[in-house]
Chains A and B, each alone.
Chain A
Amino acid sequence: MKYFPHTQEDIEQMLQVAGLKSMDDLYGEIPAQLLFNREFDLPEAMSEVEIRKFIEALGKKNSRLACFAGAGVEDHYSPSIINPIISRGEFLTAYTPYQPEISQGTLQYIFEYQSMICELTGMDVTNASMYDGCTATAEAMMMAVAAAKKRNKVLMSATVNPKVKKVVETYAQYNGAVIEIIAEKDGVTDLADLEAKLAGDDVAGVILAQPNFYGIIEDYAGVAEMCHAKKALMIMNANPSALAVLKTPAEWGADIACGDGQTLGIPMNYGGPYVGYLACTNALVRKLPGRIVGATTDVDGKRAFVLTLQAREQHIRREKANSNICSNQSLMALYVTIYMSLMGYKGLKEVNKLSYAGAHYLAEQLVATGKCSMAFDKPFLNEFALKTTVCPKTIQAALLDNGILGGVRIADDTLLICVTEQRTKEEMDLFIETVKNL
C-alpha cells in the first residue's frame, strides 16, 4: 500500500522498542467484544488507473449545462492560476497557523483577505473567513443577540435567500433566539412592517439582503437610523462581487456585513467548498467569532503576522464563547484573495457590467416573447424573477433538452434567472428561442 511506509522488518523492530510482541498487543486493553472481526463491506483497493476510469464514468452521469441558475451560487469565471497556487503543498497541506514563525504564508494571505473584504464591504474589521454565507449569517445573528445581552429577537426580511433563512432559523431554534420574518412588498422589504416590528424595543438585530433573493437592489435609505433608534443592529447579507458597484453595507450604515464569497470566482462545486465572510464595525470586534490575523513585528523588528484577539475564541472561553467555530475556510479565503488581486476594482466592475448587460438583454427578450413578464418593476443587477404564462417546469424541461439550466423555480409561476460574464449571446439566444417556440 503506497501510503504505508512500514516494511515487515520495521514493524518487528518498532514493536520491540515499544515492548510489544504483536500488532494485536497495540489494542490489548480493549474489551474483546469491541474489536471488529469481520471484513469491511467496502470495495477492494483500486489503482490510480482504475480510480480515474471509475470517477470518469460517474462524471458521465452528470450533465454539463449552460448555467442560468443563481439563487446565491453563480457561475463566474475562475482564473487559471488560482488552482495551481492553492494546490502548492505549502498552502494546501498546512494546518491552522499555530506556529506563526513557519506559517507566515497563511497568516499574510489571511491579512490580505481581511483587507480586501473590508474594502469591498466598507466595514472596519473582518475575521479569517467562515464556512459559507448561510452559517456566516447565522453567526451574525448570534453576534447581535450576544451584543444586545438581554434581547433574543432577531428580524429577518422575507427577501433573504431561503437557504440562508433556513440555516439562521435552525441555529436560532437551538441557540434560544427568536426569528421573526419582516414582510415583503413588491419584491422588497416592507419598511412599514420593519418599523412596526421594531416598536416593541425588544429586537437585537435585523437581517437584510443585498441584492435580495429576487435579484433586486433594495433601497435601504433610513433603515440604519430606524434600527439604531431602537438599539437593534443592522445586519446585511451582501453579495461581495456586487459590492464593487453597489452601495456598501457600511455606506448603508450596517453594523455587520456577511455573505458568501462564492461569487468571487469559486467554482460551483455542487454546493461547496465556498467561503463565508463576516465583517463588522470596530465596536463589535470583541463579539466577532473565529480567527483574526493582525500585524506585528518579531524580536528583530521584522514585519510579521499573527493570530490575534484570541481571548474571544472557543479554545479559551469554552462554553462562554459566542461561537464554536475553530478554524476557518482558509484555502478558499486564499482562493478569493487571489481572485480579488487579479481582478482588482476594475475587473470586478467589468464582471458586473457584463453580467448586468447579459441579464438585462435576456430579461427584455424573454418579456418580448409574450410568454413572460417581469415579476417586479425594480432595479436589478444580474438576476431577475420572471413570471411565466407557461408552467416554469415545462420551460425548464425544454431548456434542459437544449443543454441549458434554466434558472431556479421559486414559485408555481416564477423563475429566478441569473446571468454571469460566462454566458454567451448564443446561449442567451438559444434560451430565448426555446421559450419562444413553446
Chain B
Amino acid sequence: MIRNYDKLIFELSKEGRVGYSLPKKQVEGGCMCCGIPENLRRESAPLLPEVTEFDVVRHYTNLSNKNFGVDTGFYPLGSCTMKYNPRINEEMAAHPAFTQLHPSMPTECAQGALEVYYNLAASLAEVSGLAEFTLNPYAGAHGELTGLMIMRQYHIQRGDLKRTKVIVPDSAHGTNPASAAVCGLQIVEVKSTANGTVDVEDLKPLLDDTIAGIMMTNPNTLGIFETEIPEISRLVHECGGLLYYDGANLNAVLGKCRPGDMGFDIMHINLHKTFSTPHGGGGPGDGPVGVRAGLEHLLPNPQVKKDENGRFYLQCDEKSAGYVSNFLGNFGIIMRAYTYILTLGRENVKMVGPLAVLNANYVKESLKGEYYLPIEGVCKHEFVFDGLADKSTGVTTLDIAKRLLDYGYHAPTIYFPLLFHQSIMIEPTETESKETLDEFIAVMKKVAQEAIENPEIVKSAPHSTPVRRLDETTAARFPKTTYKQLKG
C-alpha cells in the first residue's frame, strides 16, 4: 500500500481548500490591491496546490517512505561518510533562542550564537592542526572554492601574478578541477602510481614558478594514505606553492593525525561528513575552511573575533579573499557540529578515525575473495574493489549495486574513482556495528554467488524497490522537469 503511493502534490489539489492559518489584518487601510500600480502586478496566477494541512502531512510522509536514509539502513557510500546523525544535534539546532536571530542583529544581542561559531572554529583548528577557521562556506565544493580563492589571493598580494596553475591528482574527484576552473586557475594533472598515490617523480617536473599550489586528499580517493606527504610538502613549498587539503576523507584520520602537521596550508572540512550533521538529501551542509598561521587575514568576511574582555565581534578585513555567503554560513549546521563535538569530547574524538578504519579493513578483508581488490594492504576509512573477482559472469558493478537495494542496503559509490573500470567504493564509518557489517558481508557474498548461479536476477535488479530501473535516456532526451511540462 505504502509503495503504491504515486501522487504529486498538485494531483491532490481541490479548489477552495487551504492549508494555512494567518492572523487577521492588524491595521486599518493599507490595501495592497489598490496600492500597487497595475503595471507592476503579476498578470497570471501561479499554479500552486490547494490542499489541507493533513493532505500535506500525509503526502510527504508517504514520499518519505520511498526514501532510504542512514536511519533506514546501512549506507556504505564511499567518500560520503554516511555516519549516524544524532538527534540531540537537531534538538539544539532548533532552539528558538538561536533560530530567531536575524543576521543584522547587533552583535551584543547575538553573543551566544557568536560564541558557538567561535568555539566550533577553534575546535576544528585544534583537530586539524591549522591556525584559524571560517565557517562561512556552505558546502564542501563551496569550501574548496573559498580555499582556492585564498590560495590565489595569497599569491596576488605577494605580487606573484604568474601563479595561475594548480596541480590536481588524476584520481581526484571532479569537483577539484571544477572548483579550480571557477576560481580562474588552470589545471595540471599529476599521475598516480600503481597503488593510487601521487607519483612524486611525475610531480617534480611540474613544479615551477607558475604553480599556485596542489590539491590533495589524504588518505586519497582510494583510501590509501599518502606516506610521501612530507616530501611532497617540501617540494611544493620550495617551489613557492601552497598545499590544499580536500577534507572529504578527514574521517579516516580524525584523532590520529592532522592535515596541518602534514604540511597543508589551507583545507576545508565537510561538517556533514566528519562531524555528523545530516546530509539532508543533498544539503544543507557546511564547508569550513582553515588556514595555517600567517594566512588568517585572507579568510572570507565577515570574520568572528573575540576581544580581551571575551566579547565577540564581527570584522571585515580589507585583505580578505572576499565574501562567499550571505552571512556566517549555515548557522543551523554549525550548531549541530558543535553539539557533536561536545558530545564526543576530547576523549572520544580520537577514536573516530581508528574505529572507521577498523571497520573498513574488516569488510575489505572479509570480501576480497569474492571481489577483486586491486590494491592490497591496510586501507584507511574506505577501499575500492574493481568488480567481482570472477570476471566471467557478465555481472557489472551497476548490477551488484542494484541487487544490494533488494537486500535493504544503499549501494556503495560506483564507477568512482575512474582509475578502475568497475569501481565499488565502500566506506562503512565508525558508527556501524560488527553485526551490521557481518550481515552486509554475507549479502555481498550471496550476490557474488548469485552472479555465478543466477546472473539474470542480478542483472535485472532491483525487484523489490518502490520503482525499478529507470529510463534515464528518455528523461534526458525529452526533459520534463515541471508538473506543467509533465501534463503536456
Contacts and interface: CB of A to CB of B under 8 A. Distances in A.
A99 B68 contact: yes
Given A4-B431, A61-B111, A39 B84 contact: no
B339 A55 contact: yes
B362 A18 contact: yes
A207 B246 CA distance: 33
Given A4-B431, A31-B227, A18 B282 contact: no
B141 A269 contact: no
A92 B69 contact: yes
Interface string B135-162: 0001111101100110010000000000
Measured as residues with beta carbon below 8 angstroms from the partner, the interface class of chain B is 35 or more
Interface in B32-55: 32-33, 35-37, 39-51, 53
A174 B63 contact: no
Given A69-B104, A331-B280, A60 B20 contact: no
Contacts of B29: 357, 360-361
Interface stretch (B316-324, B388-396, B446-454): B316-324
Interface stretch (A190-198, A223-231, A337-345, A368-376): A337-345
A63 interface: yes
A353 B347 contact: no
Contacts of A42: 123, 126-127, 341, 345-346, 349
Given A3-B431, A108-B8, A323 B178 contact: yes
Interface string A42-71: 111110100110111011111111010101
A341 B9 contact: yes
B48 A294 contact: no
Given A42-B349, A163-B326, A296-B471, A62 B97 contact: yes
Nearest to B30: A357
Contacts of A61: 111-112, 115
A221 interface: yes
A436 interface: no
Interface string A278-307: 000000010000011111111110111010
A324 B26 contact: no
Contacts of A346: 18, 50
20 contacts: A3-B343, A10-B434, A65-B105, A79-B19, A90-B69, A93-B82, A96-B282, A104-B63, A119-B47, A217-B40, A270-B113, A271-B328, A272-B138, A272-B326, A294-B475, A309-B476, A315-B173, A341-B48, A346-B50, A405-B104
Interface in B296-351: 300-301, 321-333, 335, 339, 341-351
B167 to A, nearest CB: 13
Contact of A324 (B28, B30, B103, B141): B141
Interface stretch (B180-188, B200-208, B234-242): B180-188
A179 B470 CA distance: 43
A102 B405 contact: yes
A57 B112 CA distance: 8
Contacts of A166: 301, 322-323
Nearest to B230: A31
